[in-house]
């Protein structure tokens, strides 16, 4: 298991260099490995996930500890040696069910299996032993003396993010934000209300051995209490009764208030988390044109709509920053821009993203988001609604993009007042009229949404 974990971590690191072309998602690498090893037991599968995501979540803290016992700087260590030591340190710090001696011996065994030269095997052995002895008393940087480094190391975030949040939010809120990013998110699912009600699905899941609770915020959400088997083999999943989705995403979609019979344009449909929700709300009446430039994601959306038994969705594979292949006079009742973004609001769900992102990414995404809005806006009918959603907490991709769009599109305005179709949204609308969910405040993914109305 540990060998597979190190392999996945090493592949992710090699293919996701900050500033380089985007590589495969960590989730996809884990899923691929699991499907290549179908005989792994459920506990082994769970352990593999925990080791891989745990090491990448805590990489900053682990590297700090390794740096304290290594005579070489961490960034100069052989990549495999570093990943073996990260795995060992993670086990020593966070997994008390694995004895320290076993964690140390395992790292040496893996170094030998990978045929590292004897000097490097010796280095792994010595460093792992030192870590096992030193870790319990290893002091962390003092927040009074080095506030940025202290936050970055203790909560395992890159220094640029720690510095940015300390400056913008102040120390208390910055620490809460960073700590919340290291908690495991609840297992939230969305009920396919085209086929079943939330209450009935709870009963069905109970018969399958899965206890659930009602969604805390979303009227179509349930929370799985604990999962001791692969959820994807459950009959209820295969019959399309539900899908995994954070409640923040469910709430954000409700803002658009689609009505049966509506024509909806969705830019950035991806794997269709929100497309399929919109299709549920249309109740088979109306059409959604789901646009994305990723063939792999459109294929996943296609599979998802089939599994969920939803109709009325047309797929358009195109780069939506360029002029859209839609009749110029065509108008939609609703437009959803589910914008590509830095994902800094979903670090608890995708902990590895924090090492992938760089400060310059925020402006790069803002330009992309502005281009998508610019191309879609002319297709809005007067009196219609446009919803802009991101899963980032950073103003460059949220408020600034909206302010610039509203300046250049005076026929659009922020939708005033409460959302009549979805009263559960109201507590998440801030004083500026934006929808916002925060991991540290709501135990939800960090989403931002702005609902814009086009004048009649
Ligand atoms: C936030 S994700 C979509 C999530 C998805 N809507 C869901 O709810 O599951 C943003 C999507 O924008 C797509 N995208 C990024 N740049 C694009 C472009 N230039 N044209 C079209 N789609 C783009 C990405 O492929 C990605 O699927």
Is 319 within any annotated ligand binding site?
Answer: yes
User: What's 117's DSSP letter?
Assistant: -
Can you give the pTM of this predicted structure?
0.95
Q: Whose CA is nearest to atom 9 of ligand 1?
A: 273
Atom of ligand 1 nearest to the CA of 274: 8
DSSP states along 414-449: EPPS--TT-GGGGGGB-TTS-EE--HHHHSS---EE
CATH topology of domain 247-454: Rossmann fold (3.40.50)
- CA 298–ligand 1 middle distance (angstroms): 10
* Number of residues that make up the chain: 456
Pairwise CA distance, residues 122 & 116, whole Å: 10
- CA 340–ligand 1 middle distance (angstroms): 5
**Architecture in CATH for domain 2-139:** Orthogonal Bundle (1.10)
Domains 2-139 and 247-454 are alike in CATH topology: no
Per the structure block, which two tokens stand in for 135? Answer: 């870790």
- CA 13–ligand 1 middle distance (angstroms): 23
Atom of ligand 1 nearest to the CA of 341: 1
Q: In 3D, which of 387, 438, 398 has the Cα closest to residue 255?
A: 387
Pairwise CA distance, residues 289 & 313, whole Å: 6
Question: 431 burial class (0-12, 13-18, 19+ CB within 10 angstroms)?
Answer: exposed
Q: What is the pLDDT of residues 205-227, one digit of tens each?
A: 999 999 999 999 999 999 999 88
- CA 276–ligand 1 middle distance (angstroms): 14
Is 432 within any annotated ligand binding site?
Answer: no
Is 338 within any annotated ligand binding site?
Answer: yes
Pairwise CA distance, residues 79 & 7, whole Å: 11
3 state DSSP class of 256 = coil
b/e 228-249 (16+ beta carbons within 10 angstroms → b): eeebeebebbeebbbbebbbbb
Pinpoint the alpha helices (H) of 285-385.
295-308, 353-356, 361-376
Q: Whose CA is nearest to atom 19 of ligand 1?
A: 319
Ligand 1, pocket-test mutation among 189, 249, 270, most atoms within 8 A of CB: 270
Per the structure block, which two tokens stand in for 422? Answer: 């979805």
Q: Whose CA is nearest to atom 4 of ligand 1?
A: 270
8 Å CB contact between 448 and 248: no
Q: Whose CA is nearest to atom 14 of ligand 1?
A: 268
Atom of ligand 1 nearest to the CA of 249: 8
Residue ranges covered by each domain of the chain:
2-139, 247-454
8 Å CB contact between 91 and 114: no
Catalytic residue among 82, 84, 131, 391: 391
3 state DSSP class of 359 = coil
For residue 289, give Cα distances in angstroms to 30, 249, 311, 316, 333. 31, 19, 12, 7, 12
8 Å CB contact between 187 and 227: yes
Could you report the predicted ipTM of this complex, rounded to two decimals? 0.99
Q: Could you identify the residue written with the tokens 């790292």?
A: 107
Residuewise pLDDT in 10s, the chain (456 residues): 889 999 999 999 988 888 778 788 899 999 999 999 999 988 899 899 999 999 999 999 999 999 999 999 999 999 999 999 999 999 999 998 788 889 899 999 999 998 999 999 999 999 999 999 999 889 999 999 999 999 999 999 999 999 999 999 999 999 999 999 999 999 999 999 999 999 999 999 999 999 999 999 999 999 999 888 888 889 999 999 999 999 999 999 999 999 999 999 999 999 999 999 999 999 999 999 999 999 999 999 999 999 999 999 999 999 999 999 999 999 999 999 999 999 999 999 999 999 999 999 999 999 999 999 999 999 999 999 999 999 999 999 999 999 999 999 999 999 876 666 777 888 899 999 999 999 999 999 999 999 999 987
8 Å CB contact between 60 and 156: yes
Pairwise CA distance, residues 217 & 197, whole Å: 16
User: Where does ligand 1 bind, in terms of residues with CB under 6 Å?
Assistant: 268-274, 291-294, 297, 319-321, 338, 340
Atom of ligand 1 nearest to the CA of 343: 1
The β-bridge partners of 389 are: 338, 449
Query: Is residue 391 flagged as an active site residue?
Result: yes
């Amino acid at each position: 298991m540990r060998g597979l974990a190190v392999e996945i971590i090493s592949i992710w690191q090699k293919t996701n260099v900050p500033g380089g072309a985007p590589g495969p998602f960590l989730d996809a690498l884990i899923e691929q490995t699991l499907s290549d090893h179908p005989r792994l037991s459920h506990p082994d599968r769970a352990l593999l996930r925990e080791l891989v995501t745990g090491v990448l979540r805590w990489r900053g803290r682990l590297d700090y500890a390794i740096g304290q016992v290594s005579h070489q700087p961490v960034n100069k260590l052989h990549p495999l040696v570093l990943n073996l030591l990260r795995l060992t340190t993670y086990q020593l710090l966070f997994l008390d069910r694995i004895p320290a001696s076993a964690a140390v011996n395992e790292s040496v065994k893996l170094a030998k299996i990978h045929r590292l030269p004897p000097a490097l095997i010796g280095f792994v052995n010595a460093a792992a032993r030192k870590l096992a002895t030193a870790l319990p008393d290893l002091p962390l940087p003092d927040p009074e003396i080095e506030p940025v480094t202290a936050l970055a190391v203790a909560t395992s975030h890159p220094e640029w993010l720690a510095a940015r949040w300390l400056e913008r939010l102040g120390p208390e809120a910055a620490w809460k934000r960073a700590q919340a990013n290291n908690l495991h998110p609840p297992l939230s699912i969305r009920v396919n209300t085209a086929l079943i009600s939330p209450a009935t699905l709870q009963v069905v899941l109970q018969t399958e051995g899965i206890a659930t609770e009602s969604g805390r915020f979303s009227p179509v959400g349930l929370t799985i209490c604990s999962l001791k088997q692969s959820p994807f083999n459950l009959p209820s999943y295969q019959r399309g009764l539900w899908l995994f989705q954070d409640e923040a995403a469910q709430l954000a979609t409700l803002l658009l208030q689609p009505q049966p019979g509506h024509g909806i344009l969705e830019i950035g449909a991806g794997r269709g988390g929100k497309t399929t929700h919109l299709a549920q709300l249309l109740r088979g009446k109306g059409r959604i044109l789901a646009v994305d430039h990723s063939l792999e994601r459109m294929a996943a959306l296609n599979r998802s709509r089939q599994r969920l038994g939803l109709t009325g969705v047309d797929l358009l594979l195109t780069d939506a920053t360029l002029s859209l292949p839609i009749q110029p006079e065509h108008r939609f009742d609703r437009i959803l821009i589910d914008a590509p973004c830095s994902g800094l609001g979903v670090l608890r769900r995708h902990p590895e993203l924090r090492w992938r992102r760089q400060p310059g990414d925020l402006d790069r995404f803002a330009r992309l988001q502005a281009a998508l809005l610019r191309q879609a806006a002319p297709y809005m009918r007067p009196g219609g609604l446009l919803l802009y959603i991101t899963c980032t907490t950073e103003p460059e991709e949220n408020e600034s993009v909206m302010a610039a769009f509203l300046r250049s599109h005076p026929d659009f305005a922020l939708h005033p007042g409460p959302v009549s179709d979805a009263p559960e949204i109201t507590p998440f609308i801030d004083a500026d009229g934006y929808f916002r969910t925060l991991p540290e405040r709501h135990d939800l993914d960090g989403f931002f949404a702005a609902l814009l109305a086009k004048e009649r």
